[in-house]
Amino acid sequence: MDKLIITCAISGAEVMKTHNPYVPYTPVEMVREAREAVEAGASILHVHAREDDGTPTQSKARYETIIRAIRETCGDVIIQPSTGGAVGMSMDERLAVCDLPLEMATLDCGTLNFGGDAIFVNTENDIIRAAKLMSERGIYPELECFEKGHIDTVLRLIKKGLMPAPHHFSFVLGTPCGMQGSARDFHFMRESIPKDATYSVVGIGRYEFPLAELAIQYGGHVRVGLEDNIYLEKGVLAKGNRVLVEHVAALARQYNRPLATPAEARQILGMEAFDDESIL
């Protein structure tokens, strides 16, 4: 099996310091959490920009500030901004970050109820627009799928030539109104993607570590971080992203899956070589 790629979602758009005081808002806090995640073994950092008061933002200028600060501290780590933003943002807002010289970003592949009255809207035309934009600008998309229908949408767009290879899927399981995170759900998703595709698993809340262990066992990759889960164990808040990454790194050692460096992650995913002259 390939070495294990750990992605760390350091901030998220909705989780606040009232939930966990280690959630980063400011660029200084983002750098702290990024550095500690990388030191613990993460090779990809998934980033949602926040204002200093915690308000989610897709401001290109704010992302540029955060990305440059992380790059100066964390070297060649893969920085993966969100184009999901926060519920209620327009596609124009969400895709503004793609004006920056990125190497990777998320691409959400379907609409989902997020609980209560919150609906995360991604129409087919939204998905096509984002895919074309990323392809034109040389941005590697991580295909975020919250349920099997999202995978089917991607497969249909692949057949139409709208999503060129290589394909890297992210199974986001355990959201309140989405597909849950049982072993059955994991295998259903894993067995539904093309054989030559790679995948990573995002377990929300209590599903984070059980799904991480399954992904490690079955040759997949893992995302953890305060965006997805604020606890190290039931009732015990995680003191930052480091301890979440360290927990997955320990699981990887149990299954003899060495951790991938950023350079090795690029090779596994089929990304172009990192060029620190052109990428923030």
At 80-112, the pLDDT tens digits run 999 999 999 999 999 999 999 999 999 999 999
What is the average pLDDT score of the chain? 96
What are phi and psi for residue 233, nearest 5 degrees?
A: -155, 175
Look-up: residue for tokens 């010289």?
Answer: 101
User: Is residue 164 reached through a cis peptide bond, with omega within 30 degrees of 0 on the bond before it?
Assistant: no
Q: Which residues contact 46 (CB under 8 A, 6 or more apart)?
A: 7, 8, 9, 10, 80, 81, 82, 106, 223, 225, 227
pLDDT of residue 172: 98
The 3-state DSSP class for residue 37 equals: helix
The amino acid at 52? D
Given this model, what pLDDT does residue 276 score? 54
- Bin 235: left if φ > 0, else alpha if -120 < ψ < 50, else beta: left
The answer to whether residue 280 scores a pLDDT higher than 80 is no
Question: Is the confidence at residue 230, as pLDDT, over 70?
Answer: yes
Rounded distance between C-alpha atoms, residue 82 and residue 202, angstroms: 14
> Does residue 72 have a pLDDT over 90?
yes
Least confident of 74-78, 259-263, 271-275: 271-275
Amino acid at 104: M
How does pLDDT run across 162-189, given as a tens digit for each residue?
A: 999 999 999 999 999 999 999 999 999 9
Mean pLDDT of 66-90: 97
| Contact yes or no for 108/83 (Cβ under 8 A) | yes
pLDDT at 131 over 70: yes
Q: How many CB atoms lie within 10 A of CB 75?
A: 11
What is the token pair recorded at 253? 């050692």
* Segments in the chain forming alpha helices (H): 27-40, 60-74, 91-95, 124-136, 148-159, 183-190, 208-217, 241-254, 262-269
**Burial class, 20, CB count within 10 angstroms (exposed 0-12 / middle 13-18 / buried 19+):** middle
For the residues 246-261, what does the mean pLDDT come to? Answer: 98
* pLDDT exceeds cutoff 60 at 275: no
Confidence band for 32, pLDDT divided at 50, 70 and 90: very high
* Domain ranges across the chain: 6-269
Confidence class for position 1, pLDDT limits 50, 70, 90:
confident
Bridge partners, residue 173, by sequence: 203
173 φ, ψ (degrees, to nearest 5): -120, 140
In this structure, which topology does domain 6-269 adopt according to CATH? TIM Barrel (3.20.20)
Q: Is the pLDDT of residue 273 over 60?
A: no
b/e map of 155-170 (b: 16 or more CB within 10 Å)?
bebbeeeebeeebbbb
Tokens of 212: 């991480």
pLDDT at residue 24, rounded to an integer: 98
Instruction: pLDDT band for 272, please (50, 70, 90 cuts).
Output: confident
